[in-house]
Structure 1
Amino acid sequence: VPFGHRLPILTLLWHKQSSCHSLQCLFLSIIDLFSSSFFLSFFLSFFLSFFLSFQSPFWILSMPSEEMARGLMKRTVCAKSIFELWGHGKSAEELYSSLKNYPAEKMAPFLQSNLTYKIKVHTFNKTLTQEEKIQKIDSLEFLPFEGKVNLKKPNHIFWLLEDYGMDPNNIPEQPLDLYFGRWIANGQRDLIESYSVKRRHFIGNTSMDACLAFLMANHGRVKPNDVVFDPFVGTGGLLIASAHFGAYVCGTDIDYNTVHGLGKASRKNQKWRGPDENIRANLRQYGLEKHYLDVLVSDASKAIWRKGVKFDAVITDPPYGIREATRRTGSQKEMAKMAERGTENHISISSNYHLSDILFDLLKFAAEYLVLGGRLVYWLPVYKPEYTEEIIPRHPCLKLISNCEQTLSSHTSRHLITMEKVKDFEDEDRDSHILDSQYLPYKSHNSFREKYFSGVTKRIAKEEKDSQK
């Protein structure tokens, strides 16, 4: 569709008071919108003003039709609402001029005498009294509305949106930008509350925040009838988000108690897990049990799948060694002894599973078992003072699509890495990292745990010192 024929759209993104929508995670929102538009088979365009307004919760987009806009809102968890933009200005006068220049033939279908309407006012970073809102609505009386006002069930809702910047300590007297448009649809932010970990039946120490889980599913372009796999499944939070979008889900984890819902509970004031606390029960809680394939006790360092098995997406959060141990079965000495005895009847023991090895095994698995065009989405922990793009693990079969940072502390963060399989896996790709000249820089991931806790120790010492002053 030619750009000139596209529909000007205004999207309101809700950054404030949200763990995954602060400006540090702004790129997550961008990728979320682009990934969501993929399902509608169109490329999402941003007007030039978008690139100049990262500090605004209002983004001006361009897309082929209203139907596409509604479809976009059915996927994204980043956007609060989407509007057909009728006018925009840096002042009230500019807005009014913009509205007067908006084509009358585009307004007419929504202003007819047999249609009811309502106008609402929303301000970002400033609170207005009801009287002030009414005054602003009255100032729009030049618009040629022919229908009646209906505040309860109008046919169409129009919004006057005012942006007062992002600094709550420096609120300008007049808005920085004003927008007026027709409401089209709301995003899927209600899912964050509906799938909140706080009310989930089965949780663990590292259960993924619902918002981030849905973002990861969108980054993975999960769609109905896909098969999605999580090799570090834990309590299955990532499976739930993928199942919501219609995928069939499965996973593995080395922790027998977690997979079978046994042992101590992670929930406050509960000592032991109940008999029905498991991943399957979580999917049943949300009416998604039909999308559950299975979860298995398995070591991620040793692939259990036969050749020919393919997944549409691998979405996971590998253990960092902070709140969950990084383990794999066997050790060098134990494996040597077993080889000498030549027997398989033994009880597996576990050894440390270095983070660099976890990441390479994960990429190798994705390269071999993803369908061509399938996506790997995972979190990479990073010690910020030493971060460079060179430490992001690579594989010849996988192309890096996006790299989004989420700050954890002053010295650590984690990056949401999205990769896409662009080449069929061959035997020579199995140990590609050994030939990788950048392999040594990846080894720095192994000391992330020590660096993380060194920062915590320094912070505690500083707080104790300050309290003694």
Structure 2
Amino acid sequence: MTSKYLVQFAQAHNEFRIPELQSISELNGFTVRFLDDPECNNPERPFMVLELENEEQARILAKRCILIKAIYDYYGHGSSYEQLHEITKSNRSKWEPYFPDTSFKFFISAYNHKIPQRRQREVIEGFAYMDFQGEIDMKTPQIVCSCFEEYDDSFKRARERSDGDGDFRQVYFGRLLEESSARPLVNVFDVKKRKYYGNTSMEAEVSLLMANQTMASPGKLMYDPFMGTGSMAYPIAHFGSLVFGSDIDGRQMRGKESVPGVVRAAKQYGVDTRILDLATFDITHHPWRCGGLFDAIITDPPYGVRAGAKRLGRKRELSERQIELCKQHRGKPQADGGPYIPPTKPYELSHLVSDLVIFARYLLKPGGRLVFFLPTVTDEYEEVDVYTMLCEGMEVIANSLQDFGSWGRRLITIKKTTSEAFSAPTFEARHDSEHTPAHKDFREKYFQGFKATSSEPASGPGTPVEQ
């Protein structure tokens, strides 16, 4: 038999909420059920009512989900206090055990509004029928009963003090079970406090969300093929997974000191022993000689805004004479005495992500996940864009948008649904589909200000640009 639980969310990354809930519940072997009520299951709203089998499952979500602020044992909700009290009274069996000698505290709050002190007292007195006999303890109560009024976003505008008080959309009531112990990790992994980072480092909150999509946990092996400064490695290592990283440009991983920058930052978080190794190579010329190695692949591919995607090769083919000269000087030291740096050429984004999916199918274990960001042009994006990159045995299970206006980036989660063993991809044969995805030539569209599709500026002040 299931019970209802009230979830209070942080007001950020709304589209990421349900995929995160589903990933963490799957990781821990249970299922989250959403009520068939638009007032209780809208991911755009700050509160959601879920059905779970027991309190322990609710506590697991609060301890791991980054977007959850707290979880409550659900007592009731309504568009008025009359409705709320009616439902709360019908759930008497939930709060009746706390009648006799349990110390308690009532907490009254509102979303998008501040309730006057006078009316807070009136709200508390309205619950007199609960008849708690224990002591009122404002510091260390045994239970906290919380009441939340939700006001429409329109009330964010400047207004007189207490204007619109009582004109809430919904009011929710429940007993606090668990405050989030995962949400504070956003501050722990804050890039500004990190010993090693670069201009393409992913912000902490998003990298933590990505880690949850991989279902990172002790004993799992994970891989980032575009490691950069390692932003994705630290959260998944924090959750217990072992990490291997690679990049075509080893300087991004190493930095300028003798100890690689990624390792130094990992040591800051106490997870350096979970960084298995770092390697420099192009994924289209990879050294992996057997597949089925990793539980998940997590990465933020470069899409050409701050760091362009590259692969080995030359932009122009060599003449026969140039090829002959290269053969004659093969193996000889460089004129400047430095190491040989092979030439690279641009790696078009739509080709890169298609290759990444094929690469992941080869390297992932059955049931493994590929989690990555895909930039898209808002006015051009179609759902089919994501499916053009898929191959046999790979299925999209989550697609969440982080919207920046003219463009956005989508957190894509793809699951390997086959147990069939595939040979290593060659990345040679390419058959472009008849459909041209919106992320094709994204770099050019970005620097043109998306003029072909939108009159908005490419990015406003404060708009995050990772790659």
Please confirm whether the aligned pair reaches a TM-score higher than 0.5, indicating the same fold. Answer: yes
**For residue 85 of structure 1, what is the aligned residue in structure 2?**
74
The DSSP-based 3-state class of the residue aligned with 2:439 is: helix
Question: Is residue 165 of structure 2 the alignment partner of residue 173 of structure 1?
Answer: yes
Give the partner amino acid of 1:143: M
2:86 maps to 1:97: yes
Residues 447, 458 of structure 2: 8 Å contact kept? no
The correspondence for 1:233, drawn from 184, 206, 227, is: 227
Q: Aligned equivalents of 1:432 and 1:420: distance in 2?
A: 24
2:417 pairs with 1:422: yes
* Deviation readout 1:226-245 (Å, 9 max, x if unpaired): 11111111110101111111
Residues 1:432 and 1:13: Cα distance change in structure 2 (over 3 Å): farther
Higher share in helix: 1
Give secondary structure in 2 for the equivalent of 1:426.
coil
For 1:126, the equivalent position in structure 2 comes to 113
Is 1:329 the counterpart of 2:309 in the alignment? no
**Percent of residue pairs identical:** 31
Closer, same or farther: CA 86–213 of 1 in aligned 2, 3 Å: same
Indicate yes or no: 2:12 matched with 1:6.
no
1:133, CA displacement in angstroms?
2.1
- 1:265 alignment partner in structure 2: none
State the Cα distance separating 1:123 from its structure 2 match.
Answer: 0.7
Unaligned runs of 5+ in 2: 332-339, 461-467
2:130 maps to 1:143: yes
Measure how far apart 1:290 and its partner are: 2.0
Alignment-derived partner of residue 391 in structure 1: 385
SS of 1:84's equivalent? Answer: strand
* Displacement after TM superposition at 1:462 (Å): 13
Residues matched between the structures, number: 435
User: Which range is displaced more, 423-432 or 182-191?
Assistant: 423-432
CA deviation string 1:273-329 (max 9, x = no partner):
x66570111111111122111122221222221214611100000001000122222
Aligned match of 1:351:
345
Task: Identify the range of structure 1 (315-324 vs 395-404) with the bigger mean alpha-carbon deviation.
Answer: 395-404
Aligned residue in 2 for 1:191 = 185
Deviations 1:367-403 (A, max 9, x none): 1000010000111111222211222211112111111
- Take 1:55 and 1:295, find their aligned partners in 2: how far apart are those partners? 40
Partner of 1:44: 32
**Deviation (angstroms), 1:77:** 0.5
**Aligned counterparts of 1:462 and 1:46: Cα–Cα separation in 2:** 36
2:402 partner SS: strand
Question: Counterparts of 2:189 and 2:356 in 1: how far apart (Å)?
Answer: 27
Would you say 1:32 and 2:20 are equivalent positions? yes
Q: What runs of 5+ residues in structure 1 fail to find an aligned partner?
A: 16-20, 263-273, 464-469
| Structure 2 CA distance for aligned equivalents of residues 154 and 66 of structure 1 | 19
Amino acid at match of 1:418: T
The reply on whether 1:364 has 2:352 as its aligned counterpart is no
Q: Which amino acid aligns with 1:198?
A: K
Secondary structure in structure 2 of the residue aligned to 1:87: strand
Q: Give the whole-Å Cα distance in 2 for the aligned partners of 1:344 and 1:314.
A: 36
* 1:117 maps to which of 104, 111, 123: 104
Within 5 Å, give how 1:176-325 maps onto structure 2: 176-187=169-180, 188-262=182-256, 278-308=261-291, 310-325=293-308
Equivalent residue of 1:74, what SS?
Answer: helix
Q: Are the counterparts in 2 of residues 233 and 316 from structure 1 also a CA contact under 8 Å?
A: yes
Question: Deviation at 1:71?
Answer: 1.0
